[in-house]
Amino acid sequence: MRPLAMGRVYQLIEPGPVVLLATSRRGRPNVMTMSWHMMVEFTPPRLACVVSDRNHSFAALRATRECVVAVPPAAMARKVVAIGNCSGRDTDKFARFGLSTRPAREVAPPLIEDCFANLECRVVDTRLVNAHGLFVLEVLRAWIDPARRDAKTLHHQGWGRFAVDGRVLRLASGKA
């Protein structure tokens, strides 16, 4: 994986792909599936996500204030759903799903090599955590696999139904 320019991070998150959220607490990494996220700022890239306090990842994210947001290719769909259908409370998901990891540079949670992009993030605003489970994250480092830069992603439409990226339109736009 190669470094991705900070100004390009929004191109990964803005289209609304299903992502994986990796956390780590007391030396134990965990990972969940997530589609409730959005961009908040271009540079430094900031994003927001909602993690329910019913998710095992919630306490780790709130306590450690760091995570990795990883973007899986559409080919990983079955594994992505399975990761979302069990809990880190009783499952080592990295072992169970045979995920390949490598250490991140700035945060304790690992990068996920099965994913074509990984964002090392720090929590920078927790004011809406109690009311809405809403965390604002700042991306510290971004990584992309250049061989999979154009990987198709998944968009969750509810109850295990996903649209995969289809044809690409290129229209003249004066704006990012």
Binding site for a second copy (CB under 8 A): 8, 10-11, 14-17, 35-41, 46, 48-50, 74, 77-78, 81, 84-85, 125, 127-128, 131-134, 136, 152-176
User: By C-beta, is 6 or 77 nearer to a second copy?
Assistant: 77
User: By C-beta, is 41 or 113 nearer to a second copy?
Assistant: 41
Nearest to 70 by CA among 40, 102, 27: 102
The least CB distance from residue 131 to a second copy, in Å, is 7
Decide if 143 contacts 118 (C-beta within 8 A): yes
Q: Write out the two tokens for 134.
A: 């809403």
The gap between the terminal CA atoms of the chain, to the nearest Å, is 25
Q: What are phi and psi of 9, to 5 degrees?
A: -60, -40
The least CB distance from residue 169 to a second copy, in Å, is 5
User: By C-beta, is 56 or 110 nearer to a second copy?
Assistant: 56
Cα–Cα distances (Å) from 5 to 11, 45, 119, 132, in that order, read 11, 10, 11, 31
User: By C-beta, is 61 or 104 nearer to a second copy?
Assistant: 61
The least CB distance from residue 151 to a second copy, in Å, is 11
